[in-house]
Amino acid sequence: MGFLVKYMLSGALCDDMGLGKTLQTLTVVENEYLKQSHKQKNEGPQVSLVICPTTLIEHWVYEYKKYFPQGSLQCITIYDKASLT
């Protein structure tokens, strides 16, 4: 993922469960946020968007708060109410 970020590319992580994709992704997002916030002190807020199945949203928030308790990002969750029924 660091390679993709370095060359400004996007990518998808596809492999077996339990190999740390959530933590790897959150680490890259946090690191990029910190790098950009130091470069652009007065440019306004930096935004990252994670789109995942409804069943995983709370897991992502939990993982972020667990591994980055003093994290720089504010997690905002948005649900499509139709998908919850």
Instruction: Give yes or no for a contact between 5 and 46, defined as CB atoms under 8 angstroms apart.
Output: no
Asked if residue 11 is part of any domain, the answer here is no
pLDDT at 83: 59
SS3 84: helix
Neighbours of 21 (CB within 10 A): 15
Looking at the chain, list the stretches that DSSP marks H as alpha helix, in order from N- to C-terminal side. 2-6, 21-39, 54-67
Model pTM score = 0.70
Asked if residue 49 is part of any domain, the answer here is yes
Asked if residue 39 is part of any domain, the answer here is yes
Asked if residue 30 is part of any domain, the answer here is yes
Asked if residue 69 is part of any domain, the answer here is yes
- Chunked mean pLDDT (size 10), the chain, 85 residues: 82 76 87 79 70 86 90 83 61
d(CA 32, CA 29): 5
Number of domains composing the chain: 1
d(CA 33, CA 64): 14
Asked if residue 13 is part of any domain, the answer here is no
> By residue range, what is the domain housing residue 66?
2-6+18-84
Tokens of 36: 């950009």
